[in-house]
């Protein structure tokens, strides 16, 4: 998988999980479609997902920085 793809997936997942954790958007959506019984289980899913995507973002940033420092020019400098 490309480094930029990992970074984009990490940032998008972090933003989505944070949006659902800190706003009532997911609660309203689940209530609107008739799945409000699942609201009690959201904490068990959203916090691990947020941590997973934050970890993915950090990993992609570290991998991106590590790869950029080792490039050399065409003349070997």
* pLDDT one-digit tens code per residue, 18-52: 888 888 888 888 899 998 888 888 888 889 999 99
> Residue 67 pLDDT more than 80?
no
Residue 77, in any domain of the structure: no
Residue 57 lies in domain: 3-66
In the chain, the number of structural domains is 1
The pLDDT assigned to 71 comes to 59
The pLDDT assigned to 8 comes to 92
User: Which comes out higher in pLDDT, residue 67 or 12?
Assistant: 12
Residue 40, in any domain of the structure: yes
Which pLDDT band holds residue 76 (cuts at 50, 70, 90)? low
- What predicted TM-score, i.e. pTM, was given to this entire model? 0.71
Q: What are phi and psi of 34, to 5 degrees?
A: 85, 20
Residue 17, in any domain of the structure: yes
Instruction: Say which residues have a Cβ less than 8 Å from residue 39's Cβ, sequence separation at least 6.
Output: 27, 30, 31
């Amino acid at each position: 998988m490309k480094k930029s793809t990992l970074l984009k997936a990490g940032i998008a997942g972090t933003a989505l999980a944070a949006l659902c954790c800190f706003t009532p958007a997911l609660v309203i959506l689940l209530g609107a479609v008739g799945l409000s019984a699942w609201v009690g289980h959201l904490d068990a899913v959203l916090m691990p997902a947020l941590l997973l995507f934050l970890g993915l973002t950090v990993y992609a940033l570290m991998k991106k920085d590590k790869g950029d420092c080792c490039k050399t020019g065409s003349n070997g400098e």
